[in-house]
């Protein structure tokens, strides 16, 4: 099979197209012919050799996909050859997703909803399951206002859709350009609840309109975490998706006796037994059911190109330079 491998940590010039053997399928796995791959910021962080690179178990990067099952392990009876499926594989598959084939534990996968293209389905797992974990672990009361830092991105988009569908009308978020503002309005957010952080003082505006928030969700980290810490109320809840809060933010959150809820998709793998794998398949199935029932709509995508070094390099540059414009970057695989 063709695959894009990382030859060394560093720049995008370290990617190379190679031929590898098709993965072996174990008794509890399926072999998937990959049709579409989604790129994630963790990909370029791994490429650079950052902390996330400790999760790297293959020179082939990539963590989520959509495709067709072409072979079944002998113990797999809940899927059939030809099923269109998707998965967030993390480091639990035979290799990363920048390839033509991948062997995946069957408990990780879910069948694609009718009507979704492979490219649309590939865009859903990581952002969708991150948003779903936020939503399920912190059930924000419908009458309570909630502030989401970075709501125009992939995770924020799905999370806002989940909250609005649940009846949470008082959702506030930030955006930095006209395109992002229009995107947020199109998914149902009232313009009065969108703060243009390039033109307005976030803290001043929100304190005038709401005061302090009992629930704050930080999808950005860095300096934005300090704004979140200032906006959250004493004894409030700070949902941290990035683990990039500054020391100043952490100190203020501690002083306010804030409940900090950490969100991490790899956390279930730290549990014993088979339950960790079931978590992923079940969560993705729940997400796809919401798409099927029109509770949430597919994530906006940008198909960067087909399987090749240039496509991977372009996607990494776009992510690293924060130029995704709220769209999930996708690579098609013929």
- The full set of domains in the chain, from first to last, is 2-124+271-332 (3.90.180.10), 127-262 (3.40.50.720)
* 21 close to 1: Cβ distance less than 8 angstroms: yes
Residue 52 CB: number of other CB atoms within 10 A?
A: 17
What pTM value is reported for the model? Answer: 0.88
The per-residue pLDDT for 251 is 98
Q: pLDDT tens digit string along 2-39?
A: 999 999 999 999 999 999 999 999 999 999 999 999 99
The per-residue pLDDT for 265 is 85
Q: pLDDT tens digit string along 202-212?
A: 999 999 999 99
The per-residue pLDDT for 88 is 94
What is the four-CA torsion angle of 229, 234, 235, 237, rounded to 10 degrees?
-30
The per-residue pLDDT for 57 is 80
The per-residue pLDDT for 321 is 87
Distance CA 18, CA 259 (A): 48
The per-residue pLDDT for 218 is 97
Cα dist from 239 to 216, 254, 265, 326, whole Å: 6, 14, 14, 20
The per-residue pLDDT for 273 is 61
Place of tokens 């879910």: 110
Task: Flag residues of the chain having pLDDT under 50.
Answer: none
């Amino acid at each position: 099979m063709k695959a894009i491998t990382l030859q060394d940590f560093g720049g995008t010039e370290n990617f190379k197209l190679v031929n590898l053997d098709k993965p072996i399928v174990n008794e509890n796995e399926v072999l998937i012919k990959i049709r579409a791959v989604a790129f994630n910021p963790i990909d370029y962080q791994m490429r650079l050799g950052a902390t996330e690179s400790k999760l790297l178990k293959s020179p082939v990067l990539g963590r989520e996909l959509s495709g067709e099952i072409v072979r079944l392990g002998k113990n797999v009876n809940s899927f059939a050859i030809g099923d269109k499926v998707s998965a967030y594989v993390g480091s639990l598959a035979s290799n990363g997703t920048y390839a033509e084939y991948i062997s995946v534990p069957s408990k990780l996968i879910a069948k694609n909803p009718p009507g979704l293209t492979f490219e649309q389905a590939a865009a859903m797992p990581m952002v969708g399951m991150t948003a779903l974990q936020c939503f399920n672990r912190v059930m924000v009361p419908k009458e309570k206002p909630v502030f989401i830092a970075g709501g125009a991105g992939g995770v924020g988009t799905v999370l806002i859709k989940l909250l609005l569908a649940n009846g949470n009308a008082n959702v506030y978020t930030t955006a930095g350009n006209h395109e992002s503002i229009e995107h947020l309005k199109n998914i149902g957010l009232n313009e009065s609840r969108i703060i243009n952080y390039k033109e307005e003082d976030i803290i001043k505006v929100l304190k005038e309109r709401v005061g302090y928030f009992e629930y704050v969700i930080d999808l950005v980290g860095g300096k934005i975490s300090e704004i979140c810490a200032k906006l959250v109320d004493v004894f409030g809840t700070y949902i941290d998706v990035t683990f990039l809060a500054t020391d100043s933010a952490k100190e203020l959150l501690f002083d306010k006796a804030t409940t900090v809820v950490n969100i991490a998709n790899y956390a279930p793998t730290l549990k014993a037994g088979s339950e960790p794998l079931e978590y992923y398949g079940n969560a993705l199935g729940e997400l796809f059911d919401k798409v099927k029932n029109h509770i949430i709509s597919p994530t906006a995508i940008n198909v960067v190109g087909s399987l090749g070094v240039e496509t991977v390099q372009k996607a990494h540059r776009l992510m690293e330079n924060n130029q995704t414009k709220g769209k999930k970057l996708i690579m098609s695989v013929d």
